[in-house]
């Protein structure tokens, strides 16, 4: 029997496990990046909506003043 067979047999398994962990980390990193991008997009959209609302409000405000004849 080969005494070294056991150790050599374990090597590829360890390597496989490491590769799987690397893949797993890579996948998680991708997911994180996607989530961050989505968050930024949502934040931007919210900001734009807020600006739009502000613009509409100020417009209404000025129209109201002009309607009162105050310039």
Domain count, the chain: 1
40: domain range? 14-70
Average pLDDT score over residue span 21-34: 97
Burial class (CB in 10 A: 0-12, 13-18, 19+), 63: exposed
Residue with tokens 């105050």: 70
Residue 2 lies in a domain: no
Residue 21 lies in a domain: yes
Residue 41 lies in a domain: yes
What whole-number distance in Å separates Cα of residue 25 and Cα of residue 67? 62
The answer to whether residue 20 scores a pLDDT higher than 80 is yes
pLDDT of residue 67: 87
Q: Which two tokens stand for residue 2?
A: 């080969």
Residue with tokens 């613009």: 55
Q: Which two tokens stand for residue 30?
A: 């991708």
pLDDT of residue 10: 78
Residue 5 lies in a domain: no
Residue 1 lies in a domain: no
What whole-number distance in Å separates Cα of residue 16 and Cα of residue 27? 16
Q: Global pTM?
A: 0.55
């Amino acid at each position: 029997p080969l005494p070294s067979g056991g150790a050599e047999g374990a090597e590829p398994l360890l390597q496989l496990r490491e590769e799987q962990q690397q893949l797993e980390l890579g996948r998680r990193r991708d997911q994180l990046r996607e989530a961050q991008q989505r968050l930024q997009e949502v934040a931007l959209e919210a900001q734009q909506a807020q600006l739009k609302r502000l613009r509409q409000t100020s417009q209404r405000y000025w129209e109201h003043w002009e309607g009162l004849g105050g310039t």
